[in-house]
Structure 1
Amino acid sequence: EVYKRELPIIASGHLTTVGASKSDAVREIYIGTLDAFPASRFPPADYIALGHIHRAQVVGGCEHIRYSGSPIPLSFDETGKNKSVNLVTFANGCLTDVTPLIVPVTQPLAVLKGDFASISAQLNQWQNNDQQPSAWLDIEVTSDEYMHDIQRKIQAQTETLPVEVLLVRRSRAQRDRILAGAQRETLSELQVEDVFARRLALETLEATQQQRLEQLFNETLHSLNGEDRL
């Protein structure tokens, strides 16, 4: 009697399919020479559960082929997107329903963009807020204004806020403009400190890392200046 039961055929795989919507944290993987597998090439099955893509989605318009997505955000570009797991129901061996179950948010994420004044204003939303756990922040500076100490300014403002700044970066457009401007200048027009500060501004570093590099640079510069006077 057990062998006469109509059981569903369920397949699973960890791969990228043609047309799947990716996020920044997804790494490229290949099947032979294929970077994406066509949905039409999957074998017959009642349900195909796929992994690797972080966003929940149906593949190729086929309701029985799905990515459930990652249960938690794995990059800041997934901020604000619902995360879920799928409750899959079968009857007589056939798929009857797929119900996404939303996963509660346990770690708040936020992305702040703008010039320093705008970012400072956005940070005010956490004033007088005892949110736990602290929100993780990705801050993108879009201003053309040159501020070599912007990370230190942001760190000072967030010290008493229930946030943890994981990333402070300049927008790609701004980095390109800084590089273009630097190419029009000669080294003879710049102080040594300016060259170091501008190069450091192009890096994505934690505040403690930046402070340590600045300290080492100043110590080295002071040492060299001392040798010049001998």
Structure 2
Amino acid sequence: MRILHTSDWHLGQHFMGKTRIIEHAAFLDWLVAQVEHHQIDAVLVAGDIFDTGTPPSYARELYHNFVVAMSRTGASLVLLGGNHDSVAMLNESRALLGALNVQVIPGALAEPEQQLITLANRAGEPSAVLCAIPFLRPRDLLESRAGDSADDKGRALQQAIAGHYQDLFERAQDRCAALGGELPIVATGHLTTVGASSSDSVREIYIGTLEAFPASAFPAADYIALGHIHRPQKVGGCEHIRYSGSPLALGFDETGQQKEVLLVELTPSGLQEVTPVPVPVFQPLARVTGSLAELEHRLPEAAAMSTAERPVWLEVTVTEDDYLSDLQPRVQALCEGLNVEVLLVRRGRHERSATLVAEQKETLSELTPEQVFERRLAAEELAPDEHAELNGLYARIVADLKEQA
């Protein structure tokens, strides 16, 4: 059978004040097209469907529209909760979506058998058994005990997660035997594993003191579909343990990554092949670094990535040696006439260090309140609109204080 493995959609995410509804809608339409093109039997979404536990209404609408579109393809769909997802919210429509051949596993369920799913191919024949494991919270597996150290809690949690996987795997083996045939076993998960390469946009899910789950603690499933880490990768070099990564770049540090979903082909004897399917770029992002003189040439190069519909979203790092209080306007001036939107302006590290050294030689008596505030803002990584908003708020507060005086 053919499985499509994806994760970390983060529907409803705002990227530095920018909505991503157009990108997410385009991705979901593209994903449905891939299911039809590759004749996929089942789609696994390994957590973080939404960006927050209270997603905006348009994100829920995208979610439900996707479910309806998938129901028309003939493929089954399994949706697993991640650390960003609300168990209660995903549970609301769980029974209803079941009528559309959709299995929703929002969190660890009371009956382990409910997390065991027989996946059928398009002909309706049982073709794999799935251990559908979402993000596991400590309260799902452990009872708190007074007096335990942080290390004790970490070890207990790791053992409990490993035990949960092993229990479901053994039940899956029994299910395969009951079905009277040799079927591959697939497992899912939403967690950090030892050695996984993360990115700035991954908000950590350390629970207790468990920082990463060892790959050796997974059971001997034929394929393990993981979510949470946004960079697509194998775990420990294992072909069968994979992160699909996020379909969109969720931070500027992910700029240039080839995003993908994974086409997993299984036979009765096990894993046959895993093929990355590249995801198109629906919103160009770019990072540009240099002095103001260098940026004058590099910004037009970045702008060449834009399309008629979508300007390039930019992170600009300025590496000037001198402290410039008007850095934002200078960068904006260089972007005049270019099809770009500057979302973040940063100072190069060496410039920030030089600024701090210079400030050590100054006293507050030598600076105006406005200069102190401006220098404090300069140490932060802010989008242009945030910088302007904070300056405006500060100016109003100062004006109000002067009136009261």
More helix per residue: 2
How much identity, in percent, do the aligned residues show? Answer: 55
After superposing the two structures, state which structure 1 stretch, 154-163 or 48-57, moved more.
154-163
Asked if structure 2 preserves the Cα contact closer than 8 Å seen for 1:10 and 1:45, the reply is yes
Q: Distance in 2 between matches of 1:76 and 1:87?
A: 27
Deviation for aligned residue 1:145 = 1.6
Kindly provide the CA deviation profile for residues 98-141 of structure 1, in whole angstroms up to 9, marking residues without a partner as x: 111111111101001112222222112337x7643111101112
Q: Deviations over 1:183-212 (max 9, x none)?
A: 121223334443333222222333233334
Counterpart of 2:282 (choices 106, 120, 139) is 106
- The change in CA–CA distance for 1:14 and 1:216 in structure 2 (over 3 A counts) is closer
| Aligned partner of residue 98 in structure 1, secondary structure | strand
Counterpart in the other structure of 1:205: 382
The question of whether the paired residues in 2 share the 8 Å contact of 1:50 and 1:67 is answered with yes
Measured after TM superposition, the shift of residue 72 of structure 1 is: 1.2
Residue 119 (structure 1) aligned with residue 295 (structure 2): yes
State whether residues 141 and 169 of structure 1, in contact with CA within 8 Å, keep that contact through their aligned partners in structure 2. Answer: yes
Matches within 5 A, 1:89-100: 89-100=265-276
Report the equivalent of 1:47.
223
Q: Provide the secondary structure at the position in 2 that maps to 1:70.
A: coil
Please tell me whether the aligned partners of residues 323 and 351 of structure 2 are also in contact (alpha carbons under 8 angstroms).
no
**CA shift in 2, pair 1:17/1:227, >3 Å:** closer
Tell me, what secondary structure is at the counterpart of 1:179?
helix
Aligned pair partner of 2:201 in 14, 25, 41? 25
> Residue 353 of structure 2 aligns to a residue in which SS?
helix
> TM-score w.r.t. structure 1 length?
0.87
The answer to whether 1:56 aligns with 2:220 is: no
Q: Decide which of 339, 356, 361 is 1:162's aligned counterpart.
A: 339
Aligned residue among 129, 132, 143 for 2:309 = 132
1:187 to 350, 364, 375: 364
Distance in 1, matches of 2:197 and 2:219, equals 22
- Relative distance call for 1:187 and 1:92 in structure 2 (3 A) is same
Change (3 A) 1:130 1:42: closer
Query: Kindly tell me: are residues 223 and 87 of structure 1, through their superposed partners in 2, closer, same or farther at Cα, counting changes over 3 Å?
Result: closer
Q: Is the aligned partner of 1:143 residue 2:337? A: no
Residue 146 of structure 1 aligns with an amino acid whose one-letter code is Y
Q: Is the 8 A contact 1:132 1:162 kept in 2?
A: no
Any unmatched runs of 5+ in structure 2? 1-124, 127-178
One-letter amino acid of the structure 2 residue matched with residue 98 of structure 1: V
Q: 1:124 to 1:13 in 2, by over 3 A?
A: same
Gapped regions of structure 1 (runs ≥ 5): none
- Aligned mates of 1:206, 1:46 — CA distance in 2: 45
Which residue of the partner structure matches residue 10 of structure 1?
186
Q: Which secondary structure does the structure 2 equivalent of 1:182 belong to?
A: helix
1:167-178 matches, within 5 Å, as: 167-178=344-355
The answer on whether the counterparts of 2:194 and 2:213 sit within 8 Å (CA) in structure 1 is yes
Return the alpha-carbon distance in structure 2 between the equivalents of residues 9 and 109 of structure 1. 38
Confirm or deny: 8 A CA contact 2:343 2:384 kept in the other structure.
no
Please tell me whether residue 87 in structure 1 is matched to residue 87 in structure 2: no
Distance in 2 separating the partners of 1:217 and 1:75: 29
Alignment partners' CA distance in 2, 1:210 and 1:16: 34
| Alpha-carbon separation, structure 1, partners of 2:307 and 2:274 | 38
Amino acid aligned to 2:342: V
- 8 Å Cα contact 1:111-1:138 kept in structure 2: yes
Q: Is the 8 A contact 2:322 2:351 kept in 1?
A: no
Q: CA deviation at 1:171?
A: 2.8
Q: CA deviation at 1:142?
A: 2.0
CA separation in 1, counterparts of 2:404 and 2:207?
A: 59
- 1:155 touches 1:207 (CA, 8 Å); kept in 2? no
